Amino acid sequence: MRILLIGANGLLGRDLVEDWTGDDVILATSLDADIRDIQQVRRLVAREHPDWIVLTAGYTDVDGSERNPDLAFAVNRDGTKNVSLIARELGVKLCFLSTDYVFDGAANRPYEPGDAPHPLNVYGASKAAGERAVQEEAGRWLIIRTSWLFGAARVSFPEKILQAADSLPELKVVADQIGSPTYTKDLVAAIRELVRSDAHGILNITNSGTCSWFEFAKETLHQAGRSTPIFPISSDQADRLAARPAYSVLSPDALASYGIALRSWQEALQAYLVDLRQKGKVR
C-alpha cells in the first residue's frame, strides 16, 4: 500500500516517518506542496499515486492563531479542503488529524466522535472547519481527533517542563484544564492499524487516563528524577491569549470496536523519556 504523508516534518509526522513500516510511505513537506495551493496539491498526489493520504500538516500554534486567524484558516480549513478535493478527484482515501480543541470543554463526560464541535478559540475553529471540509469534499475519509501530543521528535510539553526545571527555581503550571496526553509513537501505531483496516468516520485516539497540565508536569518531573518545586495555577493566572477548554477528554469507546486500546499516559511518558534520553535531549 502507498501512503502519502503530508506534514512529514511535524511532531507527529516525524514519528510517522520513523515508525510506519511495511508499507510504501511517501514523505511530503511544504517544500513539496503548499496545501494552500490546490494546483501544487494536485501535482503532488497525481505524481505519487497513493492509496491513502495522511494529512498531519497544519498550523498548530494555539495562541498564534489568535494573532493570525487568516493564516490559521488558510492552512487548517482551506488547505484541508484542497487536499480533500484532490483526494476525491483522484480516488484517494484521506486520513485527517484533528484535535480535542474543537470542543468548548463544557461537557461532564468524555466527548464522543458524534458530538458537535463548539470551539473556544481560533485554532479549534479552524480545525473544526477543516473537519467539515473533509466530510463535505473528500470521498472515503477518516478523521482522527487526538489531544495533548508529546513526542521526542520535536520539543513538546514534557521536554519544556524539564528544560524549565533545569533553569528555574520553581515551576507554576495550569491545574484547571483536564485532558488526556497522547504519545506520538502510540498514535502512529493506531493510525497505521486503522488505515490498514480501511477505517472510516471519526475516531478518537489518546493514551488512556486523564490529568491536568499540572499533574502531567508533576509526573514528568517525578519520572525524570527532578526535585524542582512545582505549584498549581489557574488558567486566568497563566494569562494565555487563547482560551482553552477546561475539559477536553475524548472517549475511546468507538476506537475499541477496532480492537485498539492505548496504554496509560504514565506508561507512555516513561517510554517517551527513554526516547528523549536516547536522542541526547535530556540528562
The answer to whether position 198 is within a domain reads yes
The answer on pLDDT for 283 being more than 80 is no
The answer to whether position 230 is within a domain reads no
Residue 150 belongs to domain spanning: 2-155+181-207+248-262
Report d(CA 73, CA 76) in Å as an integer: 5
The answer to whether position 163 is within a domain reads no
123 among known catalytic residues: yes
pLDDT tens for 40-56 read 999 999 999 999 999 99
pLDDT tens for 35-92 read 999 999 999 999 999 999 999 999 999 999 999 999 999 999 999 999 999 999 999 9
Report d(CA 246, CA 121) in Å as an integer: 13
The answer to whether position 225 is within a domain reads no
Burial class (CB in 10 A: 0-12, 13-18, 19+), 140: middle
Over range 138-147, report the average pLDDT.
Answer: 97
Report d(CA 213, CA 236) in Å as an integer: 14
C-alpha R_g of the chain: 18
Catalytic residue among 59, 111, 123, 183: 123
pLDDT of residue 282: 78
The answer on pLDDT for 280 being more than 90 is no
The answer to whether position 117 is within a domain reads yes
The answer to whether position 147 is within a domain reads yes
Question: How many structural domains is the chain composed of?
Answer: 1
CATH of the domain at 72: 3.40.50.720
CA distances from 104 to 113, 243, 245 (A): 14, 9, 5
Q: How much is the mean pLDDT over the chain? A: 96
The answer to whether position 164 is within a domain reads no
Copy the grid coordinates of residue 176.
Answer: 484547571
pTM, entire model: 0.95
The answer to whether position 72 is within a domain reads yes
